Amino acid sequence: MTSEREKMLQGDLYDPDDPELVADRRHARELTDEYNGTAPTEGDRRTALLAELFGTASEGAHVEPPFRCDYGYNVHVGADFYANFDCVFLDVCRISIGENCLLGPGVHIYTATHPRDPEERAGGLEYGEPVTVGDDVWIGGRAVLNPGVSVGDDSIVGSGAVVTSDVPPNVVVRGNPATVVREHDPDE
């Protein structure tokens, strides 16, 4: 029999009130509260807490508090990842972020979504779609990545952009919805 957690991780409809998922979210809240309470001088403690919270927190990963997430274990960040203040990750599905990525303040990444049918939505079930960010990506402050999107290597997401569809590599996007405004040569 498939558990609600397994359904969630597969992107199927699941019951978020399942006791195992409630406990997982509570554990993530406890870890983020502890992380958010650390002092700037507690780098080793922050590193250890991120390693416990995230599914993968590669070398050099740094997140400025405060930070919020649903589960944490669905977040995977590459080497030299940096997230500025007030970022929120709704990680009911996998969030994969490559190496050398920078997130401005208040970036939100959502994998959680709900059924489109109002009757089904009223039943309380939800599902998710993974989000993938390539290597060497810069996401400006207050940008939002919606469920199921990917951002290609070496791209830039402008501040305040709302990414509703995939972003190709080597471009700059901005706006709501985010659209390509120019190609970007990372070697320039």
- Domain parsing of the chain, residue ranges: 4-136
| Catalytic site residue from 27, 62, 114, 184 | 114
Q: What phi and psi, each to the nearest 5 degrees, are found at residue 186?
A: -65, -15
Q: Helices 43-53 and 19-36, interaxial angle, to 10°?
A: 170
Q: Bigger pLDDT: 186 or 56?
A: 56
pLDDT digits (tens, 9 = 90+) for 24-67: 999 999 999 999 999 999 999 999 999 999 999 998 999 999 99
27 in catalytic set:
no
**Which pLDDT score is estimated for 184?**
76
Is pTM, for the whole model, over 0.85? Answer: yes
- Can you name the CATH fold of 4-136? UDP N-Acetylglucosamine Acyltransferase; domain 1 (2.160.10)
- Report the SS3 class of residue 12: coil
Q: What is the DSSP letter of 93?
A: S
